[in-house]
Structure 1
Amino acid sequence: MNTLKAEKRSMDIKAKKLRREGFVTGNVFGREMKESVPVKMDKKEVESLLKKNNKGSQVMLDVDGTKHNVLIKDIQFDPIKKQINEVDFQALVSNEAVHSVAEIVLVDAEKVTTGVLEEHLEEVAFKALPKDLVDKIEVNVGDMHAGDTIKVKDLDIAKNPEVTLSTDPEALIVSVTEVHASADDEEAEDGETAEA
């Protein structure tokens, strides 16, 4: 598990000023904490951590020497400045189920040659104890052909009795559609509109 160092943040200093000084702000909250703890972290360390971890990842947060097993709950990104502004963490309790998300990662997508591969879902929401948390779900699509689909219920996470899915098990993750003339494409779009 990756560790990130953080310091308790004084609320006297504005977040904007801290960001200018090279920090990312955040909060740590949890059931066994009396109140949420505002923190600040080194921007470079946060960026390095988020290359391997994402929303839904479990990390160790070292706040002034006190280690907390936490879940990355939210990441606020400024697309204009291309910088991370804030990261919020939920302190985990071993016997308490938490809501989280797992990112869907498609594997072997380049092997699909019989049709057009479409990804319909980028993450799966669920509730589980800390020991059952996952932050990434790899979906191998290399053997898929035109007409094939993979739904949430087909994933291993859906078969784990310790996990409660928040995302609809019937939700489509990926599908492979045949390549046709443009008239058929319009029909497909009409079909999607009708479903919505």
Structure 2
Amino acid sequence: MADKITAEPRTEFGKGAARRIRRDDKVPAVIYGHGEAPVHVTLPGHDTWIAIKHGGANALLDLQIEGKSQLALTKQIQVDPITRVIEHIDFVAVRRGEKVHVDVPIHVVGEAGPDTLVVTENAVVSVEAEATHIPEWFEVSVEGAEVGTLIHASDLTIPSGSTLLSDPELLIVNVAQQISEEALEAELEEAEAEAGIEHEESDEAAAEGESAEGEGDEAAAEGDSAE
């Protein structure tokens, strides 16, 4: 169910206007879609942050604009990397019953078998879903999984009303053999062998250079003494 947010039409644009909006704890946003001209709005900062957090990667908001309701699907969210404040949001206008293409994140849960390494090969899959029933995520369990276990997109549980768009053979999770500390050290030593030789040659050249400089200094000192 979409969270209701009261939105105000926005008539001021530019960086200065955006800064003033953010100082008032509000968020500038724009709504695209359905062949209509973009609609620029201002949203309440705290309520919007809560709604986005609740809705996840594909949050659906019910924007109340001058008494009219507009369902809007988040497509791009700009967040300040330091303050974590939402700076701007791009929405796509949708209608109830309309189907949309979205990328849904993968959540890996559980503990695989001993001596295994769980590798997430793809963190999202594409699906077609009703705008009001977008899966928040797909859960993949690796509980007790043994080495060699492969989980593909076709193994995911797709809810009714949604259709997998990604290649069914897309590899999602690979349960590999964990490398022992000894084996890892051996691989590192082997990988660094050639670099080590080059490093030693470089050290020898540097030492020869320092030796030559030292001899030059001694000769200069002897010349000064002779004078």
Give yes or no for TM over 0.5.
yes
**Matched residue, 1:139:** 140
Contact kept, 8 Å, 1:104 with 1:123, in 2: the verdict is yes
Aligned partners of 1:142, 1:86: CA distance in 2, in Å? 40
| TM-aligned CA deviation for residue 18 of structure 1 | 1.0
**Matched residue, 1:119:** 120
TM-score calculated relative to the size of structure 2: 0.68
| TM-aligned CA deviation for residue 183 of structure 1 | 6.8
Aligned partners of 2:29, 2:149: CA distance in 1, in Å? 42
Q: Which runs of 4+ in 1 moved over 6 A?
A: 183-186
Secondary structure (helix, strand or coil) at the match of 2:58 reads coil
Amino acid of the structure 1 residue aligned with 2:7: A
Aligned pairs for 1:11-30 within 5 A: 11-12=12-13, 14-30=17-33
Amino acid of the structure 1 residue aligned with 2:175: V
Higher relative contact order (CA 8 A, sep 6+): 1
| TM-aligned CA deviation for residue 105 of structure 1 | 1.6
Q: Note closer, same or farther for the CA distance 1:88–1:170 as it changes in structure 2 (3 Å cut).
A: same
Amino acid of the structure 2 residue aligned with 1:178: Q
- Could you tell me which runs of 5 or more consecutive residues in structure 2 were left unpaired when the two chains were aligned: 189-227
TM-score calculated relative to the size of structure 1: 0.78
Contact kept, 8 Å, 2:32 with 2:93, in 1: the verdict is yes
RMSD of the alignment, in Å? Answer: 2.6
Aligned partners of 2:19, 2:187: CA distance in 1, in Å? 47
Aligned partners of 2:28, 2:164: CA distance in 1, in Å? 31
Higher strand share: 1
- Could you tell me which runs of 5 or more consecutive residues in structure 1 were left unpaired when the two chains were aligned: 187-196
The count of residues paired between Structure 1 and Structure 2 equals: 181
Secondary structure (helix, strand or coil) at the match of 1:146 reads coil
Per-residue CA deviations over 1:96-129 (Å, capped at 9, x if unaligned) read: 4322121212222xx2242111222222223344
Percent identical across equivalent pairs? 27
Contact kept, 8 Å, 2:113 with 2:144, in 1: the verdict is no
Is 1:102 the counterpart of 2:104? The answer is yes
**Matched residue, 1:64:** 66
Aligned pairs for 1:166-181 within 5 A: 167-180=166-179, 181=183
Higher helix share: 2
Contact kept, 8 Å, 2:51 with 2:59, in 1: the verdict is no
